[in-house]
Amino acid sequence: MPLDRTDAPLHGLTVLEIGVFMAAPFATMQLADLGARVIKVENPAGPDPTRATGPFVDGHSSPFARLNRNKESVALDLKTGAGREAFLRLVAGADALVENLRPGALRRLGLGPDELRELNPRLVYASASGFGQDGPLAALPGLDIMAQARSGLMSITGSPEGDPAKVGVPICDLVCGLYTALAVTAALRARDRDGHGQEVDVSLLESGVSLAVWEAGKYFATGDVGCPLGSAHQTQAPYQAVRCADGWVTVGAITDKTWQGLCAALDLWHLRDDPRYSDSGARHARREELIGEIEAVTTKRAGADVVAALDAEGVPCAPINDYGQVFTDPHLTERGYFWDAEHPAGPLRQLGSPMRLSGTPVRRDGAGPVLGADTHTVLGEVGYTTAEIDALIGTMSR
């Protein structure tokens, strides 16, 4: 059944998704959380590959159930005339389409932006891809690691003398999804103003490059190229992980006040007025020497003690948690960040949305749907009879 929360901010909008893996499904998850009705259209013979990604709960993909929450599933083969016709009926009443197939894939099926916006001029047609819908790289397959490599992110990630390393999460996929959701929302707002839909083109590559704020500031000012710094900041210190007796903690004492607080917390009074460390820039210029002075103290103390001492002085700091600690974190738990979504396999714990709206809260409804679970309901709403839907499903199953 359609998931409905009339108090959600995007309630009343219908979004179609033709998404695989990460970028488009993550984008539409944001829109669904905010109240849009998201209808995920999948080929019954070749659905979103994430469905086949473990671990599994009673045969259902655990990652899929979380990445596709608050959505409905319709099974259609768009390569058949009947499936294409059913999809076009859905497009006629939709507000937006979000897809992340290879550029040109939907155009070859006659389902490109020109065709669909001729049918529905108010449609926002959003495409997320590796390298964009045009340009010399457009036709290349673009996974997250390729975008991290081409965008420069991998060139500044990891230890200075270490092997190439990517960001631990698929950051280009995820940021592309966030930009896509933001762009769709903006295009819908523009449509409210002028009555017309438009095309949205977001790429993993450009999403990754957009994050290079400090690196661009350096290069366009001086021509210097960034390099891996481990956990250290590009321009300020101390701002990194420091070693303790039982592990590591992170610290960011880059203002005069927090620098003085660090010196007080760690009994490093001799450093506070040392002219070599007079400001953050000076401290950064002598970062290795400075971190050595700090770790001479912190390596003799437990990480929890270092964090407690820094907290008492108002110095930004944190332990480096693993995800077992994160997913049971008392602060996140008290704020109700984690929640359980209904699913045929039983309640499935979800990561909460970071977006907290006081008057129009985000939705917390169902986990990622079973393939085709809503085909009858959705197609019935656009005029198909039960017999016609059964016949369509039978055609696709052969």
Q: Kind of pairing, strands 60-61 and 56-57?
A: antiparallel
Residues 240, 293: Cα–Cα separation, whole Å: 14
Q: Which of 33, 95, 144, 173 is catalytic?
A: 173
**What is the rounded average pLDDT for all residues in the chain?**
96
Q: What percent of the chain has pLDDT over 70?
A: 98
Sheet holding 71-75, edge to edge: 71-75, 37-42, 14-18, 96-99, 124-129, 199-203
Beta strand spans in 304-393 (E) = 317-319, 339-341, 348-350
Q: Is the pLDDT of residue 340 over 80?
A: yes
pLDDT of residue 6: 76
Task: State the greatest distance between any 2 C-alpha atoms of the chain, in Å, as a whole number.
Answer: 83
* pLDDT tens sequence across 144-194: 999 999 999 999 999 999 999 999 999 999 999 999 999 999 999 999 999
More confident residue, 393 or 292: 292
Could you give all domains of the chain from N- to C-terminal order, each with its CATH number? Answer: 14-210+333-397 (3.40.50.10540), 239-321 (3.30.1540.10)
* pLDDT tens sequence across 82-132: 999 999 999 999 999 999 999 999 999 999 999 999 999 999 999 999 999
Q: Is 173 a catalytic residue?
A: yes
